[in-house]
Structure 1
Amino acid sequence: MKSSTRVVLGSVLVTVLLVAAAMWLGRDGDGSGRAIVWLRLWDQSFVAPYRASLDEFQRANQDIEVRITLVPFASYPQKLRLDVAGGTADDIFWINLYQDYANAGRLLDIDAELGPQAKRAWDRVAVEQFTHNGVLWGVPQFVDGGSAVFYNRNLLDAAHIDPKELGALRWSPDDRVDTFRPLLRQLATAAPWAYNAANDIQSITLPYLGSAGGQFQRAGRFDFDSAAGRLAFEYLVRLVDTEQLSPSAADTNGNGDFARNAFLQGKLALFQSGSFNLAQIAAGAAFPWGTAMIPAGPAGRVSANNAIAVAGNAATRHPAEVRRVLAWLGSAEGNRYLAADGATIPAVTSEQRVYRDYWSRRGVDVSPFFDVLDGPQISTGGGPRLPVALTAIDPVFDEMFLGRIPVDEALHRASADAQHAIER
């Protein structure tokens, strides 16, 4: 080999090693002796409160620096799955559907890391959501609370409806009992759309299924293909496809923001959703509005209550430091930052008052999000490959809300497709 060739190859090798070293230091340290811990989120609006919380943590823990990675939700689940499998995931990351990671040994055991007493400070439903096979796999960060109904006061006035009427509404397939659909017809005289019935699992389909007396899963198997399921979905599809009291499924399928935007534009009288939309409505509504309880069904008033947690990567290079960061994020001091601007309901129960006080000072009644949870609750369930199953259900439900597949056929097909997705 010519000496000039050796020089070129040597230079290339040195360059490669320097780049690799720089990347290694960027992920594992910065030469200051501090351990760098990476936290992955999917929502830009949470970067600032997390940064403020972590800055306080770092002032008391100067041997650790926590850096935030933002991955948009549209690509978050797939990228996390690939990164965890490839060993390149962040040290700590947001989770909602997590059982596959837990079963594969990819997550830190929170009970073992922080002690079983830590969970006493956290929202009970959130702890239950992230407990699998008797082990807690995430540190709850925030809860959505229950579903509520946002109303446009101007449109209610135009339809001669008192907001106090909303809290007593009942939906039923029996026209002699149903008070909800008649009110929606009255609202339709004043607004392009009265209500946002749609394929929205957390805010619409789960509450209706639960208030019809049904469940999404039972004993590890999908159970929405039932008499209660047919009752709930036939009522919803009728609102959309037959009576056109809600936006077309052609607009809402695949666009989870359509109904909220229609409400903000003054085109939708009643918007059933969760507290996660409260800040956007408060900032964007140019009309008087308020909140009310969701309508009750044949089995009463039932809501979902989702939570988000942070999980520790079992493959982290800094387990001791990750443990300290997780303990901080699960503490009252670290968690309250998420409620400081009214963005979300903290999972540390002692700090939920911060959220309620914030909105109370602004004249917003958030009690419907909390009061609905005094009754029964419904969830999507859990188990291995649940995300794959939900992906199988969604297109069938989309077609059902478009009126292209009868409700009984759609429920049977979606249930079979979901079960097959889990078992294959």
Structure 2
Amino acid sequence: MTNHLTRRTLLAGGASALALGALAACSSPGRVRTGRSGARTVSYWLWDANQQPAYQAVADAFHRANPDITVRITQLGWNDYWTKLTAGFIAGTAPDVFTDHLTKFPQYADLDVLYRLDELDVTKGIRDDDYQSGLAELWKGRDGHRYGSPKDWDTIAMFYDQRAMAAAGVSAEELGALEWNPDDGGTFERMIAHLTVDTKGRRGDEPGFDKDHVAVYGLSSNGSGGDGFGQSTWSPFTGSTDWAYTNENPWGDRFRFDDRVVQDTLAWYYGLADKGYMAKYGVFSTTTGPEVQLAAGKCALSFNGSWMIGSYLGTEGLDVAVAPTPVGPSGRRASMFNGLGDSITKQAKDPEAAAAWVAFLGSDEAQRIVGERGIVFPARPAGTAAAVASFRERGLDVSAFTRQVEEDTTFLFPVTRNPADVQALFQPAFDDVYANGAPVSTLTGVNEQVNTLLALT
């Protein structure tokens, strides 16, 4: 029974985990090969098209330092990426190295398809304190071994159009001083009410406001949040109550969505749609993200992650600026602190070359190259500083993102066993609350199912 529950569902793509596990057992090289010479190639996959040029520049720099090794980069969209990666593990066509995600690596590590970086000569020197605090530890499995090299980090903030705020009579100082609570929403709810405008020009805080015919929503909509633990939707609110997703992190074995504090917070958050301050489910298509809503003038404030800075900056006609997340009942603001990593598959044809590439990706040199492109915040402090300077040169103050790290107001993405199974249970439950108006209390039952799953594995 335990085996069935543990491997009932692999990652998005629907492949059998048992088949993947069997393949890993027969395809894993016994050790890193050394003493190779001549032309060598490392295949590397990533999903973000915006980052591909930066990583091609990194690959070019790596090749100059290692003329016998060429890195070939493949970029795939998010959904196709994980489907083809899973299929590749089964078919024996997986890349040598790939950009990994915290929601994915635990199951791959359990299935023994990833190298332990601390057991490879070239990557065993990765140190936790070389990176922003807490990032490197996240890539260690339950066995204490490292399965990913920190790549970048992200936090959440509020994007807005400065001209739209000026027209509404709202200053940057006001946005930076917002606070919220689950009882009346605090100054944050009053702000988004004021920024909401119906089709007849009445604001959400004015008499006669028509919540069923809204032209501009005060707050962007980005789905139920169930597909990423509310990372760019409700997590800044739940995080600022001092609530935590699991009993410990990483590798907690009990989720806590049955707590009253989180259910009260979520009831308030989803209730913003009932009041007309945030779009209800279905008003915008699934491809109309917060950045598109803001650019089109359909919303006034847009919660999103730092990985989206480039998209907002590149939007014509948008005079973008960023404000920090609001202060919550804990007396602090909060943001999820997440990060990507680079992992080496056991199908790597030349593990030594793959490890050399991963080690270079995690170096100051490589992360400065990425940082200077102004797309994401690289995991090393030197790379972060380069990114901040790049954004500043383009006219954007990104301190709303970096202050969360500097002021230690972050919390970590929950890392647990069987993340695909956990998400498969939680996501439809959150969708049901947002789309169908199901009571938030229904999360209690789902929480019990998830905890039972984790207890059996």
TM-score bracket, shorter-length normalisation: 0.7 to 0.9
2:40 maps to which residue?
Answer: 35
**Residue in structure 2 matched with residue 136 of structure 1 by the alignment:** 146
The one-letter amino acid paired with 1:245 is Y
Letter in 1 for 2:139: F
Which residue number in structure 1 is paired with residue 80 of structure 2?
75
Match 1:399 to one of 422, 428, 432: 432
Residue 168 of structure 2 corresponds to residue 159 of structure 1:
yes
What are the ranges of 5 or more consecutive residues in structure 2 without an aligned counterpart? 1-36, 198-202, 204-214
Which among 43, 52, 57 is matched to residue 52 of structure 1? 57
More moved, 375-384 vs 323-332: 375-384
CA distance in 2, matches of 1:347, 1:125: 10
Equivalent position SS for 2:217? coil
| CA 1:76–1:421: 2 relative to 1, 3 Å | farther
Distance in 1 of aligned mates of 2:216 and 2:231: 24
1:158 Cα offset (Å): 2.7
Bigger fraction of residues in helix: 1
Q: TM-score, normalised by structure 2?
A: 0.80
Letter in 1 for 2:116: D
Matches within 5 A, 1:270-309: 270-299=301-330, 300-309=332-341
Contact 2:183 2:268 in 1 (8 A): no
TM-score by length of 1: 0.86
Alignment of 1:358-377 (within 5 A): 358-373=390-405, 374-377=407-410
Q: Answer yes or no: is 1:226 the counterpart of 2:259.
A: yes
Alignment of 1:159-198 (within 5 A): 159-175=168-184, 178-189=186-197, 192-196=216-220, 198=223
Aligned-pair distance for 1:421?
Answer: 5.6
1:62 pairs, out of 62, 67, 73, with 67
Q: Residues 133-159 of structure 1: CA distance to partner in whole angstroms, max 9, x if unpaired?
A: 322211111112x21111222332232
- Once residues 97 and 391 of structure 2 are traced to their aligned partners in structure 1, the CA distance between those partners, rounded to angstroms, is 30
Task: Report how far residue 77 of structure 1 moved.
Answer: 2.0
**Length, aligned pairs only:** 388
Q: What's the Cα RMSD here?
A: 2.1
Q: Partners of 2:408 and 2:446 in 1: how far apart?
A: 28
1:192 alignment partner AA: V
After alignment, is 184-193 or 39-48 more displaced? 184-193
Within the candidate set 225, 230, 233, 1:204 is matched to: 233
Query: 2:148 & 2:287 partners in 1: Cα distance?
Result: 26
Query: Which runs of 5 or more residues in structure 1 are unaligned?
Result: 1-31
Q: Aligned to 1:125, what secondary structure does the other structure show?
A: coil
1:63-93 per-position Cα deviation (integer Å, ceiling 9, x unaligned): 1111112222112223222322443211101
2:344 is aligned with 1:322: no
Alpha-carbon spacing, 1:403–1:337, altered in 2? closer, same or farther (3 Å): same
- State the 1:43 CA deviation: 1.7
**Change in CA separation of 1:166 and 1:75 when aligned onto 2, cut-off 3 Å:** same
- Tell me if 1:95 matches 2:100: yes
Report what 2:417 is aligned to.
Answer: 384
- Partners of 1:389 and 1:417 within 8 A in 2: no
1:101-140 → structure 2 map (5 Å cutoff): 101-113=108-120, 114-133=123-142, 134-140=144-150
Aligned match of 1:3: none
The alpha-carbon deviation at position 118 of structure 1 amounts to 3.9
Q: Which segment drifts farther, 68-77 or 261-270?
A: 68-77
